[in-house]
Amino acid sequence: MHTALFIITGAVMRKLLLGMAALIALVRPAVSADMRAPSYKASRPLLPIWSWSGCYLGGHANGLWAKSQEWIVRTPGAAFFGRSLGEHDVNGWVGGVQAGCDYQFAGGFVVGLQGDIGWTDIEGGHDSALEFGVAYHSKIKSLGSVTGRIGYAWDRFLGYAKGGGAWERDNYWATTIVLGTAYTASETRSGWTIGIGGEYAFTNFLSGFVEYNYYDFGTRQIAFTPQVTGLGPAFVDTKETKSVVRAGLSFRFGGYATPVAGYLKGGQQ
């Protein structure tokens, strides 16, 4: 009886040992897989994006529409003192250069400072509203401004508004059918300007813009110098305003393709 019990017990033990060995064999690969060191794809930097930060230099052409208004006589003792001699328009083209710098914030807002100057030789005139055979003329020689601008960038397109100080150089003269050029004057006049525009970066180095600007140079008194012996000095108040549609190209330096801070880890988008 003891011998039979020993045989039965041994058989049971062998089955238990074989079962445990099979279980270990199944579990071991899974445990080994879990214990392997984790692997990650190599991190890669974010692709660079366009930035308006940087400086630029370029050229432009303007269509200019100006008004020389309120030619009011201010010569002491003159027959028409305080009365208007009329007004005229001065329309034409202006060509010039511009330069400036911009800075783009992370949210897309852009601020900048720009200076520009243009040259022309356009003129206009009108017959006196009060005098027979007398005409008054003006010629714009140059137009410049220093402005700040603020805008918002949609990648390579920038919409902006601008404003600041402006200057112009003008010549004036009065003619008569008898004496020819009787008086001349010239002045540099200061004022202000505001405008809106849009600019697009065609490449990393070249951008183009179109904008509208309004200039107001206020009312100033002009001292006319006589060109004919026997004539005394004359004084006239004039008001000058201008509308300008400008288009141009700028060569940009720095700021383009600025890398974004941070990285994309493997598996993330």
Q: Is residue 8 part of a domain?
A: no
Q: Is residue 155 part of a domain?
A: yes
At 254, the pLDDT band (50, 70, 90 cuts) reads confident
Looking at 14-18, 49-53, 81-85, 152-156, which range is the least confident one?
A: 14-18
Q: Is residue 16 part of a domain?
A: no
| Mean pLDDT of the residues in the chain | 84
Task: Find the domain containing 183 and state its range.
Answer: 54-253
Say if residue 113's pLDDT is above 70: yes
Looking at 27-31, 51-55, 210-214, which range is the least confident one?
A: 27-31
Q: Is residue 37 part of a domain?
A: no
Q: Is residue 265 part of a domain?
A: no
At 18, the pLDDT band (50, 70, 90 cuts) reads low
Q: What is the pTM of this model?
A: 0.77
Say if residue 259's pLDDT is above 70: no
Q: Is residue 48 part of a domain?
A: no
Digit-coded pLDDT (tens) for 114-160: 999 999 999 999 999 999 999 999 999 999 999 999 999 999 999 99
Number of domains in the chain: 1
Say if residue 239's pLDDT is above 90: yes
Q: Is residue 244 part of a domain?
A: yes
User: pLDDT value at position 41?
Assistant: 52
Looking at 7-11, 27-31, 168-172, 259-263, which range is the least confident one?
A: 259-263
Distance CA 127, CA 125 (A): 7
CATH number at residue 202: 2.40.160.20
At 24, the pLDDT band (50, 70, 90 cuts) reads very low
Mean pLDDT of 161-168: 98
Q: Is residue 31 part of a domain?
A: no
